[in-house]
């Protein structure tokens, strides 16, 4: 991979620093080198903070000029030209036409006030010199090529009128509009359901072959790239830890960090007592009995049920015309029983109603029908004054710890507030002591008590959110996609923590997720939802071994798999 004739892109000794203040800088990328061959797909893999996205933004010239320092000895060669030495105008002509990029979050990348047709057409007018009529015709062809249904209608739709998967397809259409030679895909499937994720991966792979372009695919999930990449580059802390053909990386990884990325993620084939974490591999502990003991899952006929839900329903009423309204049934007659000390996994695609079920049980949505019996009392129909006593006993951990923690409160204030509201603890001193004990319980230092949420990583914030729930000593925890946005190693730590808490306190979990590997690892029973209805409910091992409903089979069939043995 040394010849410029063979390689489309070569990054040589790239060093990137960011100014923190007038005196200090932070080195995000520490002299990395890699190449992207012509007509191939290279995966750049690493956790948050590894430098992979910074490296791709350096290629595109999108790093903030006022705070970024790139070492003069660094070079980024595209077709033999060093893009770091090009003028701003030359760089702008190249990036967008010859090199294009798909960003992680389409809702943030697409302009909400312009139609998708206008935004794709703008790229064609800017880089290809097309007039409005030509750009519209080309846009229609592009929308059809990336699999957008009914392009003639969708071309005039706004981003908010499209699903997450469709928005990502629009981003791909925009990226390939000028027929680039290099497509950079930065975490393009992170927030998508497993079935949509598979569709986007297959779309990128088919476009790569059809157009004979090169793809630099950036992700934190090493397991995801097995089906798409020819070559893998593993990064950590701004350095390249290992590179090689995909078959070699999966079949015989040489670096301990690569092995950790492969094994920290829950497997469909085994359920270790504890998931290994990155440090287990870095310190040589992995394999020493950590993942040998298996955890049994399932329910029994004599299980005590802490919550019995019967025909739970929730409708939303949408305005239609001047005076009319239309009923949308988000949850339709959902029934299940939650055993004490066990976990019910709830899976389904976006819009299946799984999150609405959780929010309705907590009365954050008002149910339109059904019952939820807790100790002989119906949580749904009881008066608000009576429900206050039960509110502390059923809690929720939200998906996004960045949005669910008050940025103006210290961690101590976040933990003390619910104890004060529910009169937990005899006095303030006892409440403070309890808060420190909970920080220790979730693996955070005592110093965290006086710090603010923005001073913590995503995984640490989720631990704070879990600690806040535990202040009220709940019996039921609703985990709403609570590990989906985390790196694989942090995800393993949080899953281990949830399991430890369940073992110690006998907590019951309703674990909502679109990640089927995680659901199988942590769940005793799995409920599959589609369009507001329960289509299948069974013990986790039975459901994964013998799925009965076609929708369940489709979900399981979309899980990324690789076989290089």
Q: Which CATH number is 408's domain given?
A: 3.40.50.300
Q: What value does the mean pLDDT take over residues 194-203?
A: 85
Burial class (CB in 10 A: 0-12, 13-18, 19+), 48: middle
Half-sphere exposure of 460 (CA within 13 A, CB side): 14
Cross-strand bridge partners of residue 526: 345, 538
Domain span holding position 538: 305-558
pLDDT confidence tier of residue 286, bands split at 50, 70 and 90: low
pLDDT score recorded for residue 288: 45
Beta strand 7-19 pairing with 305-320: unpaired
Cα separation, 228 vs 203, whole angstroms: 10
The distance from CA 403 to its chain's CA centroid, rounded to whole angstroms, is 15
Cα separation, 81 vs 126, whole angstroms: 23
| Edge-to-edge order in the sheet of strand 394-397 | 394-397, 476-480, 508-512, 343-347, 525-530, 533-539
Choice among 13-22, 39-48, 207-216, 391-400 with the minimum mean pLDDT: 391-400
Cα separation, 132 vs 266, whole angstroms: 50
Residue 473, domain member (yes or no): yes
Residue 134, domain member (yes or no): no
Residue 498, domain member (yes or no): yes
Is the pLDDT assigned to residue 5 strictly greater than 70? Answer: no
Q: Are 242 and 253 in contact (CB under 8 A)?
A: yes
pLDDT tens, 109-155? 899 999 999 999 999 998 889 999 999 999 999 999 998 889 999 99
CA nearest to 196, candidates 561, 562, 558: 558
More confident residue, 198 or 190: 198
Residue 98, domain member (yes or no): no
Q: Are 335 and 536 in contact (CB under 8 A)?
A: no
pLDDT confidence tier of residue 165, bands split at 50, 70 and 90: confident
Is the pLDDT assigned to residue 208 strictly greater than 70? Answer: yes
Please give the tally of structural domains in the chain: 1
Cα separation, 532 vs 514, whole angstroms: 15
Cross-strand bridge partners of residue 538: 526
Q: Are 191 and 219 in contact (CB under 8 A)?
A: no
Residue 255, domain member (yes or no): no
Is the pLDDT assigned to residue 63 strictly greater than 50? Answer: yes
More confident residue, 292 or 429: 429
Residue 12, domain member (yes or no): no
pTM of the shown model: 0.84
Q: Are 264 and 492 in contact (CB under 8 A)?
A: yes
Residue 338, domain member (yes or no): yes
- In the block, tokens 């992680």 appear at 104
Average pLDDT, the chain: 89
Residue 402, domain member (yes or no): yes
Provide CB contacts within 8 A for 234, sequence distance 6+.
45, 46, 222, 240, 241, 242, 243, 249, 255, 257, 258, 261
Q: What angle do CA 288, 292, 295 make, to 5 degrees?
A: 140
pLDDT confidence tier of residue 565, bands split at 50, 70 and 90: very low
Question: Residues 503, 446, 291, 51: is their CA dihedral positive or negative?
Answer: positive
pLDDT score recorded for residue 3: 56
pLDDT score recorded for residue 28: 93
């Amino acid at each position: 991979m040394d010849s410029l004739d063979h390689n489309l892109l070569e990054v040589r000794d790239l060093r990137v620093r960011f100014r923190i203040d007038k005196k200090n800088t932070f080195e995000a990328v520490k002299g990395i080198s890699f190449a992207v061959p012509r007509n191939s797909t290279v995966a750049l893999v690493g956790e948050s903070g590894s430098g992979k996205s910074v490296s791709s933004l350096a290629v595109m010239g999108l790093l903030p000029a006022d705070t970024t320092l790139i070492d003069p000895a660094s070079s980024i060669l595209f077709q033999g030209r060093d893009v770091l030495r090009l003028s701003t105008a030359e760089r702008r002509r190249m990036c967008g036409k010859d090199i294009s990029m798909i960003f992680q979050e389409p809702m943030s990348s697409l302009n909400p006030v312009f139609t998708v047709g206008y935004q794709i057409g703008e790229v064609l007018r800017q880089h290809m010199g097309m007039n409005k009529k030509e750009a519209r015709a080309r846009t229609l062809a592009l929308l059809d090529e990336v699999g957008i249904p009914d392009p003639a209608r969708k071309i005039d739709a706004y981003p908010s009128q499209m699903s997450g998967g469709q928005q990502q397809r629009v981003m791909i259409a925009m990226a390939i509009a000028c027929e680039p030679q290099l497509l950079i895909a930065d975490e393009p499937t992170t927030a998508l359901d497993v079935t949509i994720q598979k569709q986007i991966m297959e779309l990128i792979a088919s476009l790569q072959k059809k157009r004979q372009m090169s793809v630099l695919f950036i992700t934190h999930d090493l397991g995801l790239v097995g089906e798409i990449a020819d070559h893998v580059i593993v990064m950590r802390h701004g350095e390249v830890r290992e590179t090689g053909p995909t078959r070699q990386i999966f079949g015989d990884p040489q670096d301990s960090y690569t092995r950790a990325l492969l094994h920290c993620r829950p497997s469909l084939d085994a359920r270790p007592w504890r998931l290994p974490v990155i440090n287990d591999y870095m310190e040589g502990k992995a394999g020493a009995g950590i993942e040998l003991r298996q955890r049994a899952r399932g329910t029994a006929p004599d299980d005590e049920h802490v919550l019995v839900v019967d025909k739970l329903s929730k409708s939303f009423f949408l305005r239609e015309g001047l005076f009319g309204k239309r009923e949308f049934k988000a949850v339709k007659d959902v029934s299940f029983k939650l055993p004490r000390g066990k976990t019910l996994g709830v899976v389904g695609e976006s819009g299946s109603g799984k999150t609405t079920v959780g929010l309705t049980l907590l009365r954050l949505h008002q149910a339109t029908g059904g019952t939820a019996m807790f100790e002989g009392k119906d949580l749904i129909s009881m008066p608000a004054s009576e429900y206050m006593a039960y509110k502390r006993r059923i809690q929720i951990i939200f998906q996004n710890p960045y949005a669910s923690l008050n940025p103006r409160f210290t961690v101590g204030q976040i933990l003390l507030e619910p104890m004060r509201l529910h009169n937990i603890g005899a006095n303030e001193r006892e409440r403070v002591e309890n808060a420190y004990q909970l920080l220790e319980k979730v693996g955070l230092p005592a110093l965290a008590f006086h710090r603010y949420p923005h001073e913590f990583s995503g995984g640490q914030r989720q631990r704070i959110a879990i600690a806040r729930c535990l202040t009220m000593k709940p019996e039921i925890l609703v985990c709403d996609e609570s590990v989906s946005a985390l790196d694989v190693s942090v995800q393993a730590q949080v899953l281990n923590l949830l399991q430890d808490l369940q073992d110690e306190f006998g907590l019951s979990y309703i674990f909502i997720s679109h990640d089927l590997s995680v659901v199988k690892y942590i769940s005793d029973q799995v409920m599959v939802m589609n369009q507001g209805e329960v289509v299948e409910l069974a013990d986790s091992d039975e459901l994964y071994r013998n799925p009965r409903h076609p929708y369940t089979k489709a979900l399981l069939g979309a899980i990324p798999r690789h076989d290089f043995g």
